[in-house]
Amino acid sequence: MNQGSYLRLGDGDYRMTSYEVQLLLANRGQPRHDEEPVPNTSLADFDPALVAELVSRLRTRRPYAYGELDDLAVLRRVRALVPDGSGADVASLGGLLALGTFPQEHFPQLMITFVHYPTVDGADPDTGARFVDNVVAEGPIPVMVRDTLLALRKNMARRSVVRGAGRADDWEYPEAALREAVVNALVHRDLSSESRGTQVQVEMYPDRLVMRSPGGLFGPVTEERLGEEGVSSARNAALLRILEDVPLPGSSRAICENRGSGIRTMLAALRSAHLSAPEFRNRVSSFRVTFPNHTLLSTDVIDWINSLGERGLSPSQCVGLAILRDGGLLDNQTYRQATRVDSRVATQELSDLIARELVEQVGTRRWTRYRLARGLIRTRVAGETPKGRADRRADILDALADGELSRTELAAATGLTDKTVTRWLGILRKEGLVEATEEQVRSPAVRYRRTGKVAFDQS
């Protein structure tokens, strides 16, 4: 297997490394690397304050399982202490990472490195500056999370945003999203012996923030399903279980909840701050999260959407328009990833944007893509303020002046798309200006006619 295994990537194949092959094999079952005994360790390698906090919380929250146990028995039950080959209690790898005073004494690379680069490409060739800041976060996971967040906060700028009638200063990236990303990178990383020489890496650039961790997604979780309710899987189950009852230093908040809510919390925090959703990139041997450093729904974007004159747009449709504003393309999957709506809602909302003549469909079936309507692109390129979308009532009524027509015939007569005709027929029927000749109005064979009611001139 190590000599003849290949991975499909894009349009080609590449030979898998021995580490990637072994990781795929290990992922067939539940990995137990976090329960491995660490030689030459004991209870003395644990931080007494973290142990006391863990034991107290377990006895309070789960008295049936832990209420009658002494401290050593509690640590054994949560697999923080495990027997070595001679039967003596030693720290497990997960126990050491969660509760140890200095795990890096035994595993120097199980840490986080943070580097703040001066340019989007890294070092500045003009000044010779390799980085703006360089931090190594060591210690148990609670301390590494705290110190990484401190480094991020130190290097983040504040931006002014319009909120209600005033302005407010927010961090470039919401701390709730960063905390979840840092915790996920540490807790879900691969802990097999092959990856213990690789640290979690956090890199800040002027236009993005990148977090990398060894080991791809585990279990049923995929890039497309990240953040879906009920989709959760823990590579390091024992470690995660311990950290449910270990708080961040100086806080009562536990490191993680083990409820599969971390990605949803991250996305909700970014949406609340009007920031773009992160990009997730999963590989067999690594996982990467990239946070773009720009406000998706900034003041000028919101003003542009309002200038379209369209009422009733959903928040997710506004996000989709913001993405398409600069001439990009969307498909159903990328729309779902950006907005976190399900496939059915994504299809309905994209169809509605087409019907409103804000978006155009390119291609069909699996090659279907969506782009901003050409008229809106022209005004965007020319720097013009878009006018309200055309009122198509007169077009539909004029086409029906000589008799009954179906949706298909109306589309041919007016030059409008079927979705746009359907939308305006619905509006005209509600206003009592048009009626269907049959009750099954969803059928394309149904014909429509004018009612004789005079339309009110809104000009």
DSSP string, 49-78: HHHHHHHHHHHHH-HHHHTT--HHHHHHHT
Q: Where in the chain is the domain with CATH 3.30.565.60?
A: 112-292
pLDDT score for 455: 60
What confidence score (pLDDT) does residue 34 get? Answer: 95
CATH topology of domain 393-450: Arc Repressor Mutant, subunit A (1.10.10)
Low-confidence ranges of the chain (pLDDT < 50): 162-167, 381-382, 458-459
Radius of gyration of the CA atoms of the chain, in A? 28
pLDDT at 218: 81
CATH class of 299-382: mainly alpha
How many helices (H) and strands (E) in the chain?
Answer: 17, 18
Instruction: Check: pTM over 0.85? Answer yes or no.
Output: no
Q: What is the pLDDT of residue 370?
A: 92
Provide φ and ψ at 320, rounded to 5°. -60, -45
Residue 459's pLDDT is what?
Answer: 43
Using H for helix, E for strand and C for coil, what is the string for 291-355? EECCECCCHHHHHHHHHCCCCCCCHHHHHHHHHHCCCCEECHHHHHHHHCCCHHHHHHHHHHHHH
- Structure tokens belonging to residue 458: 């809104």
- Rounded CA-CA distance 334/324 in Å is 12
CA dihedral angle for residue 159, residue 162, residue 168, residue 170, rounded to 10 degrees? -40
Q: How deeply is 66 buried, as exposed, middle or buried, from its count of CB atoms within 10 A (0-12, 13-18, 19+)? A: buried
Amino acid at 238: A
Provide the pLDDT for residue 39.
95
The rounded distance, in Å, linking the Cα atoms of 35 and 239 is 8
What is the distance between the alpha carbons of residues 138 and 118, in angstroms, rounded to a whole number? 24
* CATH value of 112-292 in 3.30.420.40, 1.10.10.10, 3.30.565.60, 3.50.50.60: 3.30.565.60
Tell me where in the chain the CATH 1.10.10.10 domain(s) lie: 299-382, 393-450
**Both tokens of residue 397?**
């009524």
